[in-house]
Chains A and B, each alone.
Chain A
Amino acid sequence: MAASALSADPVVLDASLYPEDCVRSAVAAYQPYAEVAIEQREGPKLLVRIRSKAPASDHTVRREFLNYVLDLSLRQHLAGD
Chain B
Amino acid sequence: MNAPEASAKLDLQRLLPEGAVTRFDDGALRITLQLTVYELQAVFRAAYWLTEKAYVYLSRSSDDRLEVTLIAKSGDTSATDQLGWKFLDDLVDHQLRVTLHRETANVRDMIVAQAFMDVDAIQSASAHSTDVQSAEPPEAIRRWQPAP
Given known A70-B48, A77-B44, contact A1–B55 (CB-CB < 8 A): no
- In addition to A17-B40, A17-B66, 4 A-B residue pairs with Cβ atoms within 8 Å of each other are A6-B28, A7-B26, A78-B45, A81-B101
Count, chain B residues at interface, CB 8 A: 25
10 A-B pairs (CB sep. < 8 Å): A1-B25, A4-B69, A4-B71, A6-B26, A6-B71, A7-B26, A11-B57, A17-B60, A67-B55, A81-B41
Closest B residue to A66 using CB positions: B57
A54 close to chain B: CB less than 8 A: no
**10 closest A-B pairs by CB:** A4-B28, A63-B55, A4-B24, A3-B26, A67-B51, A74-B44, A17-B58, A7-B26, A6-B28, A5-B57
CA distance A78 to B41 in the complex (A): 7
- Closest Cβ of chain A to B80, distance in Å, is 11
Which B residues, 86 to 121, have Cβ-Cβ distances below 8 Å to chain A?
101
Give me the interface of A with B, judged by CB distance under 8 Å. Answer: 1-7, 11-12, 14, 16-18, 63-64, 66-67, 70-71, 73-74, 77-78, 81
B70 cross-chain contacts in A, Cβ below 8 A: 6
Chain B CB within 10 A, most for which of A7, A14, A78:
A7
What is the bound-complex CA distance between A74 and B40, given in angstroms? 10
Bound-state Cα–Cα, A7 to B26, Å: 8
Are A3 and B25 in touch, CB under 8 angstroms?
yes
Q: Which residue of B lies closest to A16 (CB)?
A: B60
Check if B26 sits within 8 Å of A17, measured CB to CB. Answer: no
Closest to A63 in B: B55
Cβ contact within 8 Å between A2 and B25: yes
CA distance A67 to B28 in the complex (A): 15
User: Whole-angstrom distance from the CB of B46 to the nearest CB of chain A?
Assistant: 10
**B60 touching A14 by the CB < 8 A rule?**
yes
C-alpha gap A12/B58 in the complex (Å): 10
Residues of chain B from 52 to 68 with CB closer than 8 A to chain A in the complex: 55-60, 66
